[in-house]
Chains A and B, each alone.
Chain A
Amino acid sequence: MDVAAYEKLLPDITPRNKPFWDGCAAGELRLQRCTDCGRHRFPDAPVCPQCLSSSASWEAVSGTGTIWSWCTMHQRYFAAFADEVPYRLVYVRLTEGPLVISVLADEPDELRLDLPVRVVFRPSPGGRVIPQFSTGDLVTAA
């Protein structure tokens, strides 16, 4: 992969989103939770999309969810991913509610929707740790 091209796709780490990235580096999925209405949100935002409260805390969440949908990208849309096609994207509904798009860290034998997954953290090509999802342990447990 073209690491320079990939790094351009990564968002800047800002004072507001830093807790998320610190969480990734520490192996923990952290989301903002509204102090007033209690709702988790993703992406990060200075106000709650539900009640517009400016008061929120970053909390470690379960890291579990289910595959709401998936697709496999065949078209080269980004220079960084030109050599990666085809690659699979999963859209995961976190147990706390928000949906997050990412990739699977491992290919399960059988992929189906509503399959339970858990978040895992992997270094991206430039080194920044990003959240991905795994079906591994949960499938064997089920």
Chain B
Amino acid sequence: MNANDAAVIIGAYEHPGRELPDKSLAQIHAEVAIGALADAGLTLDDVDGFFLGHDAPGYGGGWVSMAEYLGLRSLTYMDSTESGGASPIYHVSHAAAAIAAGKCNVALITLAGKPRTGIQPGGGGPLRPEDSFEMGMFTGAGLVSTYALAAQRHMYEYGTTSEQLAEIKVAATIHASHNPNAFLQKVMTVEDVVNSPLVADPLHRADCCLVTDGGGAVVVVSREVARSLNRQPVKILGQGEAAKLTDGGRVDLTYTSAVQSGPRAFEQAGVTVNDIDYVSIYDSFTITVLEILEDLGFCEKGEGGRFVMDGTLVAPHGRLPFNTDGGGLSNNHPGHRGGITKIIEAVRQLRGEANQGVQVPDCEIALVHGNGGDLGTRMRSATMILGRDA
């Protein structure tokens, strides 16, 4: 029996909104919490574990104020692990561990954001714990620069092309066209992607994720609670975490700490890349997906460009269908954080509830991977392998 077998995912909900000017951030947290609990057949009164990132509004990395807002009176376990957009994937893993340790039975994980209509995500604090400067700002480098520098180097070392990166976006747009809630509905071609305006050469606008309002929530419960509910559970087979740091300024942006989190998750789950039917891969940019696929071992390092060609990632019949909701590239990237939607779409796939046209036939094992922070430096990786319940 697997160490994580004590806990299962029983509820998942993605807010249908992508532009929510009239809702507060806390209100979106509440709506997705109620949505995921309703999906499970539970209510807020049942929640005894609460997990959320520091982008949540209020005191205590969010959880103190949000617990009060939601009226969570029965909490026995709280966790506000912060790892950027990957945070919810850590939260599901940590919830499973807490349940296995008998610390709680019904864990609620929420994420919400509304950068599209005016609230830039806060939280996290300064990136360096002591005052010191880096060269970025006054040379005009932004967050996207790291990804562009990584892409350029990847192209130089491995012959990766813009057209190959574009294949990732094309697959996402095909998937989004089957999702009535997706922010982008139009299917793009490789030509459309490479002809979109350059943001940070070699990355085009279409290589970048969306800016959307919204959110999502997931409910993790003990096996015992799951048995009392009339909802198909999803098994948590394995998980792995890793961090890659700045290392005194010596970094290689062409790989991520997925090279460590991946094997840890595969080992715990007792499966290999060949067993994976569906992947939710963090997609802040197309290059993020490419590096992660390589780092997780779906192809050799440097082969990612060739791997994603010819519809590999396109559901339902590609070799490795990915982000079948459209992902952060085409469906939803609420609060600049793609972690929660990655989990939700994997749950849909394993329950056979993905949108018509993208449901992977006989989907038994799914992999969810989050990339928190930058790409290749000052970053964290969380890999989780989920299974359909027999």
Q: Which residues of A contact B (CB under 8 A)?
A: 6, 9-11, 14, 16-17, 39-46, 48-50, 68-75, 77-78, 80-81, 84, 86-87, 89, 91, 97-103, 112-114, 124, 130-131
Contact = CB atoms under 8 A, between A and B. Distances in A.
Given A73-B144, A87-B140, 12 more contacts: A11-B137, A16-B131, A17-B133, A43-B134, A48-B248, A68-B153, A69-B152, A69-B156, A71-B201, A72-B198, A86-B201, A130-B139
Interface string B137-166: 111111011001111110010000000000
B206 to A, nearest CB: 13
Contacts of A49: 245-248
28 contacts: A9-B137, A11-B133, A43-B128, A45-B132, A69-B149, A69-B150, A69-B152, A69-B253, A71-B145, A71-B151, A71-B152, A71-B200, A71-B201, A73-B141, A73-B142, A73-B144, A74-B197, A74-B199, A75-B200, A77-B142, A86-B198, A98-B248, A99-B249, A99-B251, A101-B134, A101-B139, A101-B141, A101-B149
Given A69-B253, A99-B249, A99-B251, A43 B133 contact: yes
B149 A71 contact: yes
Contacts of B145: 71, 73, 89, 101
A124 B200 CA distance: 22
Contacts of B245: 49
Interface in B287-336: none
Interface string B222-245: 000000000000000000000001
A106 B62 CA distance: 48
A97 B152 contact: no
B132 A44 contact: yes
Contacts of A101: 134-136, 139, 141, 145, 149
Kindly state the interface size class of chain B when it binds its partner: 35 or more
A74 B196 CA distance: 12
Contacts, number: 124
B138 A73 contact: no
Given A49-B247, A98-B249, A100-B249, A71 B148 contact: yes
Contacts of A46: 130
Contacts of B247: 49
Contacts of A74: 197-201
Instruction: Classify the secondary structure of A's interface with B.
Output: loop
A5 B42 CA distance: 52
Name the residue in B138, B201, B247 with the highest tally of chain A Cβ atoms < 10 Å from its Cβ: B138
Contacts of B138: 6, 9-11, 124, 130
A74 B138 CA distance: 16
A16 B132 contact: yes
A74 B203 CA distance: 10
Contacts of A84: 140
A11 B144 CA distance: 21
Interface in B188-236: 197-203
A117 to B, nearest CB: 14
B248 A39 contact: yes
B133 A97 contact: no
Contacts of A86: 198, 201
A36 to B, nearest CB: 14
B160 to A, nearest CB: 13
Contacts of B132: 16-17, 43-45
Contact of B139 (A16, A40, A45, A89): A89
A84 B142 CA distance: 14
Contacts of B152: 69-71, 113
A66 to B, nearest CB: 12
A114 B145 CA distance: 18
Contacts of A40: 248
Contact of B248 (A50, A69, A102, A114): A50
Contacts of A91: 149
Contacts of B198: 72, 74, 86
A29 B351 CA distance: 59
A101 B142 CA distance: 11
A76 B156 CA distance: 26
Interface string B115-140: 00000000000001011111111111
Question: 10 closest Cβ contacts across the A-B interface?
Answer: A98-B249, A11-B133, A71-B148, A72-B201, A77-B142, A69-B149, A49-B248, A81-B140, A69-B153, A41-B248
A70 B155 CA distance: 11
Name the residue in B139, B144, B150, B202 with the highest tally of chain A Cβ atoms < 10 Å from its Cβ: B139
